[in-house]
Amino acid sequence: MASLPRILFVRHGETDWNAEGRLQGQKDTPLNALGRVQAEEAGRRLGTLASNIDALPWIVSPLSRTRETAEIARKALNLDPTAFELEERAKELTFGRWEGYTWKELRKQDANVEKRRAADKWAFVPPEGESYAMLAKRLKPWIETITVESVIVSHGGVARALMAMIGGMTTDTAPQQDVWQGRVLVFEAGGCRWV
């Protein structure tokens, strides 16, 4: 992929489903109280990373947890809370029929489900869902349109896909990475780091 400008990536703040270990995917779940604090923390971190934060484009997944995260982060920076662009392709990968379940609940239905997924996490497709490989294919045409330093507010799966696509990680290691809430993942010069 051609050289990209620096991308400041923010994962949405915590939701009750995150706290419960439920697979959210594209289900539209709101932030909880901790998630709103994390969104404010992410905004403050962004302010330390870019002196021109007010001039950068903000590109946001249309799900409510990402929109609210962007609004709170922008408010923490004294910016217009709603001055961002929604990008449909920045939605989380879908877990299909697994959305709303915990891994414990899924193991009750199929004791080997996690083992099968772990064998090739990048290519594994949940029932009626999407793999990381499929997500990367969806993201690629959009990411290639980014020509200036930008803030992206999106999801954990999107962060992992980008780690492999533009962050210098392999497709074996990227899906295993933790993706933090309330922090900023900086993509630049073919690598990535958490701030």
Burial readout 135-157 (b: 16 or more C-beta within 10 A, e: otherwise) = bbebbeeebeebeebbbbbbbbb
Listed as ranges, residues in the chain with pLDDT below 70 are 1-2
Residue 1 lies in a domain: no
- What are residue 57's phi and psi, to 5 degrees? -70, 140
Residue 36 lies in a domain: yes
For residue 17, give both structure tokens.
């489903």
Residue 186 lies in a domain: yes
Residue 189 lies in a domain: yes
pLDDT of the residue at 1:
61
Give the domain range for residue 189. Answer: 7-194
**What's the N-to-C CA distance of the chain in angstroms?**
24
For residue 160, give both structure tokens.
């992992």
Residue 108 lies in a domain: yes
Report the alpha-carbon distance of residue 110 to residue 154 in Å, rounded: 30
Asked if residue 173 lies in contact with residue 31, where contact means CB atoms within 8 angstroms, the answer is no
Q: Helices 132-143 and 156-165 meet at what angle, rounded to 10?
A: 70
Residues 22, 24, 27, 32: what is their CA dihedral angle, to the nearest 10 degrees?
70
As for how many domains the chain has, the answer is: 1
pLDDT of the residue at 3:
80
Residue 2 lies in a domain: no
| DSSP label of 51 | T
C-alpha separations of 39 from 32, 54, 136 in Å: 11, 17, 25
pLDDT of the residue at 2:
61
pLDDT of the residue at 114:
86
pTM of the model: 0.96
CATH number at residue 96: 3.40.50.1240
